[in-house]
Structure 1
Amino acid sequence: MSRPTAPDPAGPPTGLTAAIALSALGALLTAFAPLLGLVAPDMPAAFTSWPWLLVPALVPAVLAAVFRGSRPALAAAVLLGPAVLAPGRLVQDAQLLVDAGLAARPELLLPDTLDPLGAAPGTWVLLAGHLLALAAGVLALIAGRGLFDHADGASDAFGSFGEDAFAGSSVAEAAADGGSGRGRAGARRQGLLALVLCATAIAAVGLLMGPFTSEDPYLLAKPAVEAPVAVAIGSLLLAIAVPAAAGFMAGSADRDLVRGGLLGLAAGLAAVAVPPLVAVALLPRLHFGWGPALALAAALVLVGLAVEGGRDPARSSGEVRLPALTRLLRAAGALALLAGALAVVGALTPHLRMPSWIDDPSVYPARLLWPGGVLLVLLGAALLVPSIAAAVRPALTAAWAALPLAGAAALDSVLTSTQVAGADAAPGAWASGAAMVFALLAAITAALAGGVEREEVDLAEPDWQPERGADVDLAERSWRPVVAVPAALAALLGLAAVLLPVLSAPDYTAPGVFTRFGTASWGLIGAGVAVLVATVLAVRSRPARAAALLVGAALVMVVRALEFPLTAGRAADATPGPGLWCAVAAAVVLLITALLAGRSAER
């Protein structure tokens, strides 16, 4: 049974008008708060910042006002994006109440003293602006629910995410698909969802990075892991909210919710990213940081996806389509080959041009590029062989993390030496950086190929009957408990392997997640996340694909374990650390789990 179609609304609901007004007022408050004085004694902004604060903050309200009469559902959806980001921004700016001198926000204030600064009326106005943005989103959600239900005749736009975004993930869904038309719509939404999640994952990384580097002792911006508590928590909330909200919006069957929601989220990201970039451009003592640039680039991508995702498939042939599976597998293989080759080049060539009286500190970390590069070359070559490409593909989606694990450690030495010792980056550093970028692109392409593969498997035989689906479900239930327990153990060991050092020596502290946090730490985090995601997905995947996924994760742990024999010479009296034994144990358990999954596939 389906819900009766909602009657045509007579016009935009009253709540929508109030939501637009609150959004506009919130934008004005956040923009003009620095002019009122944020702290006492007064410390004005480092530059004329209110236009840069006002324009991106006002965009959602302007868009909502423009579409209020013609497309009220889209107008309501636009206000949801800034509301999702409002809690994180509110917590970040609460640092002004705790210790404004540590906020590192030149668009708000420029401290010139280490003395404590008290909050002034402008701080409360700024926080009120964020609360109004949140209130505007809540009102828009209440007013827009009926509009979203009505648009496109969708039975429930809010419930469609779980039903449609992952269309094609099981045989039962294929049997219930009801025809190839809905299958194509599900594939379209799945493609859009995959692209949106890729973009917002990049944005999340950018939001956790420092906004800039500084020579000003009063503006010492730090990444989230080193920032003051309020800034760190706020950054984490933003990094979680962006992909979560984008996934919900992109997975909806309602085109107005897709287009408006993604546009509003892009405007919210721009409001966070633009002021630091402007500060870097205007203040000579501040230097470029990748965090805001990644967030702004993701916002621009979201704008393009919003335009495409909001098109009517009945009137436009420009659907968001994923390329054919064979082309995606070839592209992933070529990218992996290129990434591996560049890593090998990075291992062979110097990373630094050092002054003659200082030894090159990048020599030992760069050695880890050898196993990472060879691994990606082999996987890339396998993906170019049609007979085995599909079977190897899941391994690449996990094993790519071996290159960031290796390359980030080498680049950490490069960045430190160029800043402290006056060294210059050599070709090896650029090759290593490019290798990590191509490895990420290869993993994304392989993941998209997996989406196409699942779609083809689920829709290739639309006449599958429920009893056949029942047999498949029974087979899945019979093997998953066998894999779940060792996979959970492997995940714990994998996390311990990246959190604990593999090398111990007197007077030496290895870069890590909790010690000497730097560029190398992000490689460790990436490796840990890759193993964790692989073990979780393996339990939900088909047996053969689960086995390949677990093998890829095991290869990442092998590269982590090789760090000790390859780099032990960097410190005198080096001994194996606990991370080494955890990495070896994780690799063994992952391979055993893969074997169990493979045997289940044979049965």
Structure 2
Amino acid sequence: MPENSPRSSAEPKPSRTGATRAGQSGSPAQPTPATRRTSAGPRTAPAEPVEPWTDDTETHPSPALKAALTLAAAGAVALTAAAFTPVSPAASPGFTSWPFLALLALAPAAAAIWPALSGKPALGGGLLLGLAALAPGRLVLDLQFAVNGPLTIRPELYLPDRFLGSSAVGGGFWLLVAGDLLTAAAGVVAWRALRSHDEPERRRWRLLVPLLAVVAGAGLLTAPVHSDNGFLLARAAFEGPWPALGGYLLLAAALPLAAVLALAAPSEQTARGALGGLAAGAFGVAAPPVLAGLFRDDLHVTWGPVLALLATAVVAVLAATRLNESAETPDQGGNVELPGLFWWRLTTGLLGLATAVAALVGASAPQVAVTALNPGAATPVSAAAESPARWFLLAAALVLAVPSALVLVPKTAAVARPVLGVAWAGVVLAGTAVLNTALTATQAGNLAGFGGAAAAAPVFTYDLGAGAAWTFAALVLAAVAALAAVGTGVVEREDAGDTTTQSANLTLVAAGAVLAVAAFGLPVFAVPGYVAAGLWSHFDTPSWGLLTAAVVVVGAAALATRSRPKPAAALLTGAALLTALHAAELPLVGGSLGGASPATGFWVALAATAALLAAAGLAVAGGRRAA
């Protein structure tokens, strides 16, 4: 055919990827992933191997995925065997738990194998990814049996019937470890089989599912059960030994992170499977303590595991729906529109106000309930004690309430939302200080009379008061409000378009961040005989609040350098509020203790506040000059 002649109508047209069909004249081009997804016409040769993650139509699992399924099945068998084998010769399960533990172990593995062998390998592989995401946290949690078994709160596997100073591990412990390691290995192999460099589709629920995962993680950090059994000291993760704390923290962090990664999977089947596996893994952690509270009279169900079960159940339901956003509802610019900004701002503002209200109640109600029973008395005498940090928590609640209310006002929402996205850490900073008083009083106070007291001496018991419960609720709500604020920021940023600028003075921002970290690591006041918790020494419950505030300030400073002028100034203002709140511990907490004098941390916190406010002012001024 001449070079300039028109193309024949019978000649096949080139595809949109530029690849020619089989039998067409000319040298065939290498197929692209988009070409491989099409089903019309034979594939060009030579063809690159099709990766399961990039092709939802693949009907047979690859050898690597078969190996992952085998590892997962072996891990499930090991976990099931651990339900029959004692984890320690010193204690046995508190109730007949093996049928439930076997179901929680075998059902997820069967749910992964069945779709993989029924024509949906990506779905089965995704389930393995979700299960493996929680395996490291479960492994660290199981190590508590070897470190100090009597402190373990796992009544489904270990409930002593006598006082134990320590206990050896049995075969069940090694089966637990083997099951966790095999599950993690199955996830690694499945990831290698399903990995792809394709761009992921836009997904529904990508902001709601991580929020639910944070709620589930917060539920796992609470006390698994309430105990009337003298041989089981039930307490929250932050009160327990380091393996239990480390395990629960890993689980709480892995839940939202794995949810985000699951929703970013190129294949919808993989994304759905990963969310389902994540829900199944969370069920395996949260369900046993609920069962223990139901089957034993001396144990009672707590709200934390129930909240985790409800949140992960919603995630499982969402995983069963269509995740890819519909392409039939584009906006005027041709992009899929995110959920309404109004609803995100409304949710964020209401969560911030709920956090402030819970903190206000926690600061006003007693943190410790004291009960005294005098010999011969018919009824006990009750009293209440408050934390010296309650005014600190009250101030943090007010600092958070102002931007939360302004987020609900359309004219101020864009500026108030970044402030709220930082100010929530103030509730954590003050709330952990309040909880430290309550936890110290209940632990140290009850030890004095433990094991019996003299006949003529009154018996005192110390319990967490209503203020401690409300303060903990404020900490949970603060974390949820923070995630909602981040989600709102994502929506705001996409609505504004890609207008990232360097609007803050890097020198002042860096100086403020460094000074803030130093301030949170140093004591603000000094009182004779009082040792304050810190970051580098005397690490205690309030240290988690200090660490949270330091990380939030550094993150806000880093984000401010890549934000538009007004959001940058708002972020830096919120960071300055945190450092100023930390400096306010001198009058708010030190004043309650008496004889307090300023320490190094007070002056460093003031310097950090000044640097951050100056950087915020320069960001606003720079934005005006640019306009």
The TM-score with structure 2 as length reference comes to: 0.74
In the other structure, the counterpart of 1:573 is 595
Give the whole-Å Cα distance in 2 for the aligned partners of 1:54 and 1:242: 23
1:62: which partner in 2? 110
Structure 1 residues 99 and 66: alpha-carbon distance in aligned structure 2, compared to 1, 3 A threshold? same
Q: Relative CO higher for 1 or 2, CA cutoff 8 Å, sep ≥ 6?
A: 1
Distance 1:585 1:345 in 2: 32
Deviations 1:276-310 (A, max 9, x none): 33234444555556654454344223213323453
Q: 2:322 & 2:525 partners in 1: Cα distance?
A: 49
| Unaligned ranges ≥5, structure 2 | 1-16, 18-31, 38-49, 51-56, 373-380, 446-459
For the residues of structure 2 that align with 1:233 and 1:349, how far apart are their CA atoms? 31
Q: Distance in 2 between matches of 1:137 and 1:448?
A: 28
Summarize the alignment of residues 34-183 of structure 1 with structure 2, pairs less than 5 Å apart: 34-39=83-88, 41=89, 43-68=91-116, 69-111=118-160, 112=162, 114=164, 117-145=167-195, 156=196, 160=199
One-letter amino acid of the counterpart of residue 131, structure 1? L
1:253 deviates by: 3.4
How many Å separate the matches in 2 of 1:107 and 1:73? Answer: 34
For the residue of structure 1 that corresponds to 2:561, the secondary structure is: helix
Q: Which amino acid aligns with 1:324?
A: G
Change (3 A) 1:545 1:84: same
Superimposed CA distance per residue, residues 145-166 of structure 1 (whole angstroms, 9 cap, x where no aligned partner): 4xxxxxxxxxx4x553xxx5xx
For 1:229 and 1:345, how far apart are their aligned partners in 2?
Answer: 30
Q: 1:488 Cα shift?
A: 3.8
- Match of residue 7 from structure 2: none
* Change beyond 3 A, Cα 1:543–1:416: same
Normalized per residue, which structure has more helix?
1
Which residue does the alignment assign to 1:373? 397
Residue aligned with 1:193, SS: coil
Provide the rounded CA distance (Å) in 1 between the counterparts of 2:151 and 2:442: 26
The 5 A counterparts of 1:154-553 are: 156=196, 160=199, 186=202, 189=203, 192-208=205-221, 211-212=224-225, 214=227, 219-220=232-233, 227-228=240-241, 230-286=243-299, 292-308=305-321, 310=323, 313=326, 323-337=339-353, 339-340=355-356, 343=359, 361-362=385-386, 364-413=388-437, 439-458=478-497, 475-476=501-502, 479=503, 482-483=505-506, 485-510=507-532, 515=538, 517-518=540-541, 520=542, 522-553=544-575
State the match for 2:3 in structure 1: none
Rounded Cα–Cα distance in structure 1 between residues aligned with 2:245 and 2:348: 35
CA apart distance, 1:236: 4.4
Residue type at the aligned position of 2:540: F
Instruction: Give CA deviations for 1:222-253 in whole Å, capped at 9, x if unaligned.
Output: 66566555445444443443333222111223
TM-superposed CA distance for 1:74, in Å, is: 0.7
User: Aligned letter for 2:597?
Assistant: T
Q: SS of the residue aligned with 2:205?
A: helix
RMSD of aligned Cα (Å): 3.9
Q: What's the offset of the Cα at 1:130?
A: 2.0
- Give the secondary structure class of the aligned counterpart of 2:389: helix
Q: Residues 126 and 270 of structure 2 are in contact (CA less than 8 Å); yes or no, is this contact kept in structure 1?
A: yes
Shift in Å at residue 212 of structure 1? Answer: 4.3
Partners of 1:597 and 1:278 in 2: CA distance? 55
Q: Are 2:75 and 1:26 equivalent residues in the alignment?
A: yes
Q: Give the distance between the partners of 2:553 and 2:521, measured in 1 at CA.
A: 13
The CA deviation string for residues 152-187 of structure 1, in whole angstroms up to 9 with x for no partner, is xxxx4x553xxx5xxxxxxxxxxxxxxxxxxxx64x
Describe the SS at the equivalent of 1:5.
helix
Paired residue type of 2:212: A
2-side partners of 1:341 and 1:99: how far apart? Answer: 39
Q: Deviation at 1:393?
A: 1.6
Q: Shift in Å at residue 75 of structure 1?
A: 1.3
Letter of the 1:586 counterpart:
A
Check conservation: 2:388, 2:593, Cα contact below 8 A: no
> How far off is 1:54 after superposition?
1.8
Q: Distance in 2 between matches of 1:42 and 1:566?
A: 49
8 Å contact kept, 1:486–1:589: yes
Amino acid at match of 1:53: L
Distance 1:242 1:325, change over 3 A: closer
Q: Is the 8 A contact 1:329 1:390 kept in 2?
A: no
1:365–1:214 Cα change, 3 Å: same
In structure 1, stretches of 5+ residues that fail to align are 146-155, 165-184, 459-468
For each residue in 1:450-507, what CA deviation from the matched residue of structure 2 results, as whole angstroms up to 9, or x when unmatched? 222111122xxxxxxxxxx8xx67x53xx56x32x44344334333434443332223
Moved more, 282-291 or 368-377: 282-291
User: What is the distance in 1 between the residues matched to 2:148 and 2:404?
Assistant: 50
Paired with 2:471 and 2:148, the residues of 1 have a C-alpha distance of 39
Q: Structure 1 CA distance, aligned partners of 2:166 and 2:343?
A: 60
Q: Which amino acid aligns with 1:30?
A: L
CA shift in 2, pair 1:345/1:538, >3 Å:
same
**Aligned residue number for residue 5 of structure 1:** 36
Q: Name whichever of 283-292 and 524-533 sits farther off.
A: 283-292
For the 8 Å contact 1:200–1:243, the answer to whether it is kept is yes
Q: Aligned partners of 2:112, 2:558: CA distance in 1, in Å?
A: 40
Secondary structure of 1:302's partner? Answer: helix
Give the Cα–Cα distance (whole angstroms) in 2 for the partners of residues 15 and 280 of structure 1: 41
Structure 2 partner of 1:176: none
Q: CA–CA distance in 1 between the matches of 2:345 and 2:598?
A: 39
Amino acid in structure 2 at the alignment position of 1:20: L
Give distance in 2, aligned partners of 1:422 and 1:25: 48
Distance change (3 Å), C-alpha of 1:87 and 1:406: closer
Distance in 2 separating the partners of 1:542 and 1:527: 23
Equivalent residue, structure 1, for 2:47: none
Identity %: 39
Corresponding residue pairs, total: 546
Letter paired with 2:133? V
1:394 Cα shift?
A: 0.8
- Tell me: CA distance 1:389–1:102, structure 2 relative to 1, closer, same or farther (3 Å): closer
Q: Report what 1:560 is aligned to.
A: 582
Q: Secondary structure at the match of 2:207?
A: helix
Per mean C-alpha deviation after superposition, the further-off stretch among 509-518 and 272-281 is: 509-518
TM-score (structure 1 length as normaliser): 0.77
Is the contact made by 2:59 and 2:120 (CA closer than 8 Å) also made in structure 1? Answer: no
Q: Is the 8 A contact 1:97 1:118 kept in 2?
A: yes
Deviation at 1:395, TM superposition (A): 0.8
The answer to whether the 8 Å contact 1:258/1:309 transfers is no
Evaluate the alpha carbon distance shift between residue 237 and residue 516 of structure 1 in structure 2; reply closer, same or farther with a 3 A threshold.
closer
Contact persistence 1:204–1:242 (CA under 8 A): yes
Structure 1's 576 and 93: CA in aligned 2 closer, same or farther, altered over 3 A? same
**Native 8 Å contact 2:366 2:385 kept in 1:** no
Report the alpha carbon displacement of residue 264 of structure 1 after superposing the two structures with TM.
0.3
Q: CA 1:266–1:453 in structure 2 vs 1: closer, same or farther (change >3 Å)?
A: same
Structure 1 or 2, whichever has the larger Rg, is 2
- What amino acid sits opposite 2:92 in the alignment? P
Partner of 2:53: none
